[in-house]
């Protein structure tokens, strides 16, 4: 029995099985590569599901976290730290938030959504409109906004007042929003649904619908934010100003952190002292990591690189004319390669055997969310092996 298999047996015997049994025990990483406990190397084209924005072991992130661990690992949110203040200021700057905007720090995307739900409730209205296909997390509040029945039904009843409309259908959204609606919550791209893109203009229409009804527009940037789509945040492609955004995943580069950014004085004033909190959120370690990630993306030009590598991937796949592929969706380095047959799990397994980590996000779609530092040669190496992976998956 390999070391990998022996450890997975121990995992099965000791860890609650909410994730099923994983296929690999990963031990270390460097750049865009990770190694399992048996020493096999994989090109990481998933990046911890869009978390490892700078890849593995980036010197800037390692140095920032190491310095902070030696200085102050944690202080309670009864106090603050220079890094927490600097990270909040940086998030407000890169999101283009107007004067009066503010940041709340938690530990995850789900916590950011929980804060967004409480923000919506503070309008005094009961309703939240989300989209079919949406994924906003699995804590019980966030789960009410998540659409997938298999995630929801074992835990119903969930919080009341949440409805779901077809994603990308502005007419359906307008019909669902009225004077009882506190907030519309949408993703710029639906990552967990298979990197599904809305029609052009959808977010602008959502902005108008929310404003007409006096409701908040909250954009979930947990997966799409921090440069993933080639802009700092996905909403910026649409040229709108939301009322709030949720951020997590890539923000800490692997160190847990989430954030709710509220836009403007009026929205920021909805949550007051004592109405929300977090023990670990935005602590010195997480803040140091977040600052290092954002400053490195800026200094290394990774927004433009994300756009260029995403376009290279899409062009290469389309030009390859591989039998069994039907297209490429997404923006920047959040992409799905779509399949004619529902064989994504088999393709992902063939990928691992060939040294590539990809995600079978839907039966007909493979999701790619590599580190923003991924090179053209690394992207090409995956496209070149795709025919072999599809052949292996259909045997």
Of 36, 104, 105, 220, the active-site residue reads 220
Residues with Cβ within 8 Å of residue 212, at least 6 apart in sequence: none
| Sheet with 216-220, side-by-side order of all strands | 102-106, 258-262, 244-247, 216-220, 181-186, 127-131, 162-165
Q: Is 221 labelled as part of a ligand binding site?
A: yes
- 135 tagged catalytic: yes
Q: Which long-range contacts (CB under 8 A, 24 or more apart) does 84-90 make?
A: 84/282, 84/283, 84/284, 84/287, 86/287, 86/291, 87/282, 87/287, 87/290, 87/291, 87/294, 88/282, 90/290, 90/291, 90/294, 90/295
Interhelix angle 284-299/302-320, rounded to 10 degrees, is 70
Q: Is 278 labelled as part of a ligand binding site?
A: yes
Distances (CA, A) of 299 to 236, 302, 305: 20, 8, 12
Alpha helices of 125-194 — where are they, by DSSP H?
Answer: 140-145, 149-152, 170-176
Q: Is 138 labelled as part of a ligand binding site?
A: yes
Of 90, 249, 263, 356, the active-site residue reads 249
Gap between the Cα atoms of 242 and 260, Å rounded = 12
Please name which of 348, 137, 366 lies closest in space to residue 258, comparing C-alpha atoms. Answer: 137
Burial of residue 145 (number of CB atoms within 10 Å: 0-12, 13-18, 19+): buried
Which residue's entry shows tokens 């088999």?
346
Of 104, 105, 135, 356, the active-site residue reads 135
Q: Is 135 labelled as part of a ligand binding site?
A: yes
Q: Is 109 labelled as part of a ligand binding site?
A: yes
Contact 259, 105 (CB under 8 A): yes
Residues with Cβ within 8 Å of residue 330, at least 6 apart in sequence: 189, 195, 197, 229, 310, 314, 336
3 state DSSP class of 334: strand
Q: Is 222 labelled as part of a ligand binding site?
A: yes
- 243 tagged catalytic: no
Gap between the Cα atoms of 80 and 72, Å rounded = 11
Annotate 48-99 with three-state secondary structure.
HHHCCCCCECCHHHHHHHHHHHHHCCCCCCCCCCHHHHHHHHHHHHHCCCCC
- 148 tagged catalytic: no
Q: Is 223 labelled as part of a ligand binding site?
A: yes
Which amino acids are annotated as binding site for pyridoxal 5'-phosphate, given as ranges? 109-110, 135, 220-223, 279
Active site residues: 135, 220, 249
Which amino acids are annotated as binding site for N(2)-acetyl-L-ornithine, given as ranges? 138, 278
Which amino acids are annotated as binding site, given as ranges? 109-110, 135, 138, 220-223, 278-279
């Amino acid at each position: 029995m390999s070391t990998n298999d022996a450890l997975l047996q121990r995992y099965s015997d000791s860890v609650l099985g909410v994730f099923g049994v994983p296929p690999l025990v990963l031990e270390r990483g460097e750049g865009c590569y990770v190694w399992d406990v048996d020493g096999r190397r994989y090109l990481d084209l998933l990046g911890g599901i869009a978390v490892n924005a700078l890849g593995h072991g980036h010197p800037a992130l390692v140095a920032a976290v190491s310095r902070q661990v030696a200085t102050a690992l944690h202080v309670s949110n009864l106090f603050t730290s220079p890094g927490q203040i600097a990270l909040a200021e940086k998030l407000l700057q890169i999101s283009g938030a107007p004067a009066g905007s503010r940041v709340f720090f938690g530990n995850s995307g789900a916590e950011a959504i929980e804060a967004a739900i409480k923000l919506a409730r503070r309008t005094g209205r009961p309703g939240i409109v989300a989209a079919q296909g949406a994924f906003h997390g699995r804590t019980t509040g966030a789960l009410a906004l998540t659409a997938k029945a298999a995630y929801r039904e074992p835990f119903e009843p969930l919080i009341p007042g949440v409805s779901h409309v077809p994603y990308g259908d502005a007419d359906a959204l307008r019909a669902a929003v009225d004077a009882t609606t506190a907030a519309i919550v949408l993703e710029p791209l639906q990552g967990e649904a298979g990197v599904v893109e809305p029609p052009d203009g959808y977010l602008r229409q959502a902005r108008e619908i929310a404003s007409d009804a006096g409701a908040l527009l909250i954009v979930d940037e947990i997966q799409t934010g921090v440069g993933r789509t080639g802009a700092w945040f996905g909403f910026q492609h649409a040229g709108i100003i939301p009322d709030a955004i949720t951020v997590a995943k890539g923000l800490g580069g692997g160190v847990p952190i989430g954030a709710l950014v509220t836009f403007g004085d009026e929205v920021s004033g909805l949550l007051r002292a004592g109405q929300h909190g977090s023990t670990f959120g935005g602590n010195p370690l997480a803040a140091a990591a977040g600052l290092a990630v954002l400053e490195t993306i800026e200094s290394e030009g990774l927004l433009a690189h994300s756009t260029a590598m995403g376009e290279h991937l899409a062009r290469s796949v389309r030009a390859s004319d591989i039998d069994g592929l039907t297209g490429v969706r997404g923006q920047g380095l959040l992409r799905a390669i779509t399949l004619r047959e529902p064989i994504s799990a088999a393709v992902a397994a063939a990928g691992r055997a060939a040294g590539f980590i990809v995600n079978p996000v839907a039966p007909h779609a493979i999701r790619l969310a590599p580190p923003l530092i991924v090179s053209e040669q690394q992207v090409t190496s995956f496209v070149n092996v795709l025919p072999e992976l599809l052949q292996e998956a259909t045997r």
